């Protein structure tokens, strides 16, 4: 139902109808959650958080709650989390995916709490809000939950939309009922858009006070890695040519394998590294590659990249920083399809921060401005499909100087927005000023 709201919009009356439908659909939603739990799509021991039952005690003092839908949004929030905690505030962050919870368990500062966002039903939402009683809510990007947002409005909890995103397609859909987005988003005291284009689209729908101060994704630190794992990987790869297909989705692994087949004779010992966006797909990807006659290995099975060249599927969580360091030529996944569920692209700033030359397909709508900038400065190339991808990989594998130049331009660009987190904190100052020093955890402990 949330996808319907996000794409087509509902007004105040529609939100009331949504709540009635949600209440009536509760048994079906609960059955759906139970099915997801059995399939491993929900956390094995913490799945009750999705029904609003808390998995931890609420800390004393003022609590700032941040919500990001999945991995990308959650990671972009980390610079804010650190600054809020440094200001002495208690912080809760919620996400909706098992993968995001696993990654955050390793990256959140000590003392920051993580919970799964409850399903958008009246019962779970009320249980969540009754327990956590947030004093300020920071909503990230574009996932809109009507029951939760209206619940916050009824409780008069101040909220801000940070890095707000409204794609051209969503704008066209909302344009049929601009009052709907005003009803849903009007409760935000502050709306910071992710790009100038997003700010313009929000404003054209009649939302007031929309600002653009930069994309919070620029504030992230380079992804880390285990130095011992990197040393072992570099020893295994040696000087062999290699390229990386990162955060791939269904269909892109086959395209990467086709590229490998076309280029392995031209680049002896070629290693094609594939990191699927969803690691649990690793065994199925390996099986499909083997059925197509490809020599491939699987990291989760303890295998190293093939010693004489081949395809290596890196299906482990939290190791993208390792693979970005292992290859200076990176294809950004979820981009080969121009539209549909396997389009939109993943964050190109992550490999850019580590100096990779970038390739991506036509479906980069989720990062349209960043992709356009990277193309304009010569840090990336856009490929129309698998054949074009093979041509670009071939050309850049054969031109180390060009790869290095593109990678350096990408790195400089990615580092150019590091002050965004501080600017967001300045924008949040009017909301944070109501927290007196006595409200902060640090003040209570001193």
DSSP states along 197-220: HHHHHHHHTT-SSEEE---GGGGP
- DSSP, res 156: T
Over residues 411-416, the mean pLDDT reads: 94
57 has a pLDDT exceeding 60: yes
How far is 243 from 221, CA to CA, in rounded Å? 23
- Is 73 a known active-site residue? yes
Question: Do 422 and 391 form a contact (C-beta atoms < 8 A)?
Answer: no
Please report the pLDDT score of residue 347 as a whole number.
94
CB-based contacts of 130, cutoff 8 Å, min separation 6:
none
How far is 354 from 222, CA to CA, in rounded Å? 7
How far is 417 from 215, CA to CA, in rounded Å? 8
Lowest mean pLDDT among 128-132, 134-138, 290-294, 410-414: 290-294
Q: Which residue has the higher pLDDT, 7 or 356?
A: 356
CATH number assigned to the domain with residue range 2-220+419-445, chosen from the 4 options 3.20.20.105, 3.40.50.11720, 3.60.20.10, 3.20.20.70: 3.40.50.11720
Average pLDDT, the chain: 89
In DSSP notation, 368-401 reads HHHHHHHHHTTSEEE-SSHHHHHHHHHHHHT-HH
Name the band, by pLDDT with cuts 50, 70 and 90, for residue 23: low
Indicate which residue of 73, 141, 253, 350 is catalytic: 73
Over residues 110-133, the mean pLDDT reads: 95
Over residues 395-408, the mean pLDDT reads: 98
3 has a pLDDT exceeding 60: no
Question: Do 93 and 81 form a contact (C-beta atoms < 8 A)?
Answer: yes
Q: Please, what's the b/e burial string for 301-311 (b: 16 or more CB within 10 A of its CB; e: otherwise)?
A: eeeebbeebbb
Please report the pLDDT score of residue 1 as a whole number.
38
List the one residue out of 393, 405, 380 whose CA is nearest residue 270: 393
How far is 121 from 425, CA to CA, in rounded Å? 32
- For 294: left if phi > 0, alpha if psi spans -120 to 50, otherwise beta; the answer is beta
- Written as six digits, the tokens of 373 are 């900038």
pLDDT by residue (tens digit) across 165-190? 988 888 888 888 888 788 888 889 99
How far is 218 from 204, CA to CA, in rounded Å? 26
Please report the pLDDT score of residue 187 as a whole number.
86
How far is 314 from 355, CA to CA, in rounded Å? 20
List the one residue out of 246, 300, 247 whose CA is nearest residue 278: 247
Domain locations in the chain? 2-220+419-445, 227-415
CATH architecture group of domain 227-415: 3-Layer(aba) Sandwich (3.40)
Lowest mean pLDDT among 13-22, 65-74, 124-133: 13-22
Name the band, by pLDDT with cuts 50, 70 and 90, for residue 5: very low
């Amino acid at each position: 139902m949330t996808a319907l709201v996000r794409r087509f919009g509902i007004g105040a009356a529609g939100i009331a109808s949504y709540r009635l439908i949600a209440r009536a659909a509760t048994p079906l939603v609960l059955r759906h959650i139970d099915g997801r739990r059995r399939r491993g799509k929900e956390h094995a021991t913490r799945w009750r958080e999705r029904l609003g039952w808390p998995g931890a005690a609420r800390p004393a003092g003022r609590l700032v709650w941040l919500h990001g839908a999945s991995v990308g949004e959650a990671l972009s929030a980390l610079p804010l989390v650190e600054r809020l905690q440094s200001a002495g505030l208690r912080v809760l962050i919620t996400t909706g995916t098992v993968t995001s919870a696993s990654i955050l368990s390793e990256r959140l500062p000590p003392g920051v709490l993580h919970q799964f966002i409850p399903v958008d039903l009246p019962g779970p939402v009320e249980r969540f809000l009754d327990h956590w009683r947030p004093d300020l809510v920071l909503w990230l990007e574009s996932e809109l939950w009507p029951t939760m947002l209206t619940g916050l409005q009824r409780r008069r909890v101040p909220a801000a939309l940070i890095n707000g995103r409204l794609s051209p397609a969503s704008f066209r859909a909302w344009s049929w009922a601009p009052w709907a987005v005003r009803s849903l988003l009007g409760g935000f005291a502050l709306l910071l858009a992710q790009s100038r284009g997003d700010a313009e689209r929000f404003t054209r729908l009649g939302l007031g006070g929309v600002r653009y101060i930069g994309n919070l994704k620029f504030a992230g630190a380079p992804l880390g890695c285990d130095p011992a794992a990197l040393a072992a990987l570099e020893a295994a790869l040696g000087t062999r040519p290699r390229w990386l297909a990162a955060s791939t989705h269904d269909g892109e692994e086959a395209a990467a394998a086709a590229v490998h087949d076309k280029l392995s004779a031209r680049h002896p010992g070629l290693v094609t590294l594939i990191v699927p966006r969803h690691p649990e797909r690793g065994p199925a990807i390996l099986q499909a590659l083997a059925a197509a006659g490809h020599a491939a290995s699987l990291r989760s099975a303890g295998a190293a990249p093939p010693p004489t060249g081949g395809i290596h599927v890196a299906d482990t969580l939290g190791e993208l920083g390792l693979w970005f360091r292992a290859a200076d030529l990176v294809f950004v996944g979820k981009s080969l399809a121009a539209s549909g569920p396997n389009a939109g692209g993943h964050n190109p700033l992550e490999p850019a921060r580590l100096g990779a030359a970038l390739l991506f397909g036509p479906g980069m709508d989720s990062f349209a401005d960043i992709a356009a900038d990277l193309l304009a400065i010569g840090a990336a190339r856009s490929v129309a499909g698998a054949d074009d991808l093979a041509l670009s990989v071939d050309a850049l594998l054969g031109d180390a100087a060009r790869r290095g130049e593109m990678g350096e331009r990408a790195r400089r660009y990615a580092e150019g927005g590091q002050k965004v987190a501080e600017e967001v904190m300045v924008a949040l100052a009017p909301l944070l000023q109501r927290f007196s020093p006595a409200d902060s955890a640090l003040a209570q402990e001193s």
